[in-house]
Every structure is written in structure tokens, then in C-alpha cells.
Amino acid sequence: MIDLHSHSTISDGLLTPSGLVKHAHSKGIKVLSLTDHDDVEGLTEAASEAKLLGMHLVHGVEISVTWKRDTIHIVGLNVDSQNKTLLQGLASIRQGRFERAKQMAHSLDQVGIKGSLEGALKYAKSGILGRTHFARFLVETGHAKDVKTVFKNYLVKGKPGFIEHTWTSLENALSWIHTSGGIAAIAHPARYDLGKNNLLAFLNEFKELGGQGIEVISGSHTTEQSLKIAKIAEEFEFLASTGSDYHGPGISYREMGSLPKIPETCIPIWKSWNEVNALLN
């Protein structure tokens, strides 16, 4: 009934903010967070739709971070989407995304794939331009049969279209989330390839910077991975979050409303959110 990680057309999802909320409603979700990449533009529309449907919309965002040399995603929940510091920070990431996109297009150009910047922009309905938009263009032009296949042959390390990019720092992301009244959670922690020592260093740094949450349940985790993350949550005294990371029909890890429950040993991140608990009970 609760899903705290999802995407709309404002970033790289396929459904509009209101379409996404309607979809969540049809899957039995009562509490939804819209967490578009580096943009909070969809929250007003999503919140009004949620209100109409008797749901609760948690104002969220998924921030792209570079920690050491790895890309890590941090979800901010209950952020104030009008907060100037947050808005300015996210705008700076989107600017960086656009510079990266130009370089990605150049890299694809060199393997004979022309016009990918314009092609990707056609799929970007808002201010963020990302690899998923390029992926849709590559499918459209017959370079891969679907988006998943694109991410095997293009846009990833060692393949055409991949550009090493420096996102914002972990410190910035957490400070923007906290300044705007939100709580930070590490997104899909099992998806990073940090190695054991770096993972521990990262978790410690996140905690030292005031990070409180971690996605124990994610659409992109296996059961085994969720159990491992649940242990980490216990050990580091992190609050547990859950989210499908839904991007729309056909391109998502998991359907909404089909995620397992947070293990009993974990404290849900919404434990003190009275309005949310009233809806869930």
C-alpha cells in the first residue's frame, strides 16, 4: 500500500505525474512518493491527483550523486519542493546533465549514430535529459530491440555513448534535502558495485552527514539482497524505506503494489508520519 520511489515524464518515466498517481491507485497504493531524477516539477500535479483519489503524495526527489568515482542515488522524502536551495541545487545538476548529453551524442556520432541529441530531446518532456531518453531514441532507430538491450550495448562503461560524469557531492545532496525539511534515503543500495570496504565507508559517511534512511525493499532488489540490506539497516540504525522505482509500463523492474513487506526487524521510515499511518492502518 506504500511506494516511496517512482518516476514520471518529468524525468525518465513514461506516465505523466497524474497518470502515475492514477496507476498507483489502480494497484492499491495509498501512499506514493514521486521521486523524479533531479527535478521536483511534477509534485504539484501529482499531489492534486492524489488528493482527488484519497491518496497521500509524499513529496520526493532522487538526486544523482558522485561519491568517490561512483554514481549513487539518494532519495529525499518529505522535501519542501519550493525551497530555493533545493531548487537551485537540482537546476545545477540538470545543467550538468545537458552538458553530458551533448558529449553522449558526440560519442554516438562517432559510431555512426547521428542526431541522437535531438532524438533524445523528443522523449524528454521536461528539464531533465538522461540516458533513458537516449535509449528510447536508439530503440526507435533500430539499434536495439528494447530499452534493456540498449543498456547492454550502449550508454554503459566501455560502450558507445558512455560519458563519465561528475554529479553533485553526497554532502550537497544531503544538505539540500535537510535544508528543505526532508529525510534522505539511499536508493536501491544493492545496485552499486562499491566493494565491501567502500560500501562501509560510504554508509558511515552517509550517516555522519545526517542520512537516516535506506531502501531495504526496492523493485530492483532480489529477496536475498533485501535481507542483506535489512541487516545493514539494523546495524547502522537506518530507517527502512520501500519503493518500486517504477518508470512506466514495460520498462520497470516491478509493477507497483507487488513489493514484499519490510522485514519485522526494520523500522519503517514512515513510523512517525501520522498522516501516512492513518491511511495505512
Minimum gap (Å) between residue 112 Cβ and Mn ion:
27
* Residue 147 interaction partner, one of ligand AMP, Mn ion, none, beta carbon < 5-8 Å per kind: ligand AMP
Among candidate residues 132, 14, 118, the one with its CA nearest the CA of residue 64: 132
What burial letters (b/e) apply to 79-96, b meaning 16+ CB within 10 Å?
bebebeebbebbeebbeb
Number of residues near ligand AMP (by CB under 6 A): 10
132 binds ligand AMP (CB under 6 A): yes
Q: Please, which of residues 27-66 interact with Mn ion by CB under 5 A?
A: 62
Chain centroid offset of residue 101 CA: 19
Residue 127: burial class (beta carbons within 10 Å; 0-12, 13-18, 19+): middle
Task: Based on the shown chain and the rule CB under 5 A, indicate whether residue 12 belongs to the binding site for Mn ion.
Answer: yes
| Residue 73 binds Mn ion, judged by CB under 5 A | yes
Q: What is the three-class DSSP state of 80?
A: coil
With CB atoms as reference, the residue minimizing the distance to ligand AMP is: 130
The CA-based diameter of the chain, rounded to the nearest angstrom, is 56
The listed partner (ligand AMP, Mn ion, none) that binds 151, CB under 5 to 8 Å by sort, is ligand AMP
| Binding characters for ligand AMP, 9-48, by CB under 6 A (x = yes) | ---x------------------------x-----------
- CA atoms of 126 and 97, how far apart (whole Å): 13
How far apart CA 153 and CA 157 sit, in angstroms, is 10
Could you tell me how many residues of this chain bind Mn ion (CB under 5 A)? 5
* Coil, helix or strand at residue 199: helix
Between the alpha carbon of residue 17 and those of residues 34, 79, 89, 120, 248, the distances in Å are: 8, 17, 22, 20, 11
- Quick note: the x/- pattern for ligand AMP over 239-268, rule CB under 6 A, is --------x---------------------
Helices and strands (DSSP H and E) totals, the chain: 10, 7
Among 134, 245, 262, 273, binds Mn ion (CB under 5 A): 245
Q: Which of 68, 148, 261, 271 binds ligand AMP (CB under 6 A)?
A: 148
Neighbours of 139 (CB within 10 A): 16
> Is residue 131 at the binding interface for ligand AMP, with CB under 6 A as the rule?
yes
The smaller minimum CB distance to ligand AMP, of residues 119 and 268, is found at 119
| Residue 54: HSE in the Cβ half-sphere, 13 Å Cα cutoff | 6
Tell me the closest approach of the beta carbon of residue 72 to ligand AMP, in angstroms: 11
Q: What distance in Å separates the CA atoms of residue 127 and residue 93, rounded to the nearest whole number?
A: 10
Among 50, 113, 147, 187, binds ligand AMP (CB under 6 A): 147
Instruction: Classify burial at 218, counting beta carbons within 10 Å of its beta carbon; exposed 0-12, middle 13-18, buried 19 or more.
Output: buried
The region of 81-89, 95-103, 180-188, 223-231 touching Mn ion under the rule CB under 5 A is 180-188
Choose between 192 and 236: whose C-beta lies nearer to ligand AMP.
192
Residue range at the interface with Mn ion (CB under 5 A); choices 76-84, 176-184, 196-204, 244-252: 244-252
Site of interaction with ligand AMP (CB under 6 A): 12, 37, 64, 130-132, 147-148, 151, 247
Site of interaction with Mn ion (CB under 5 A): 12, 62, 73, 187, 245
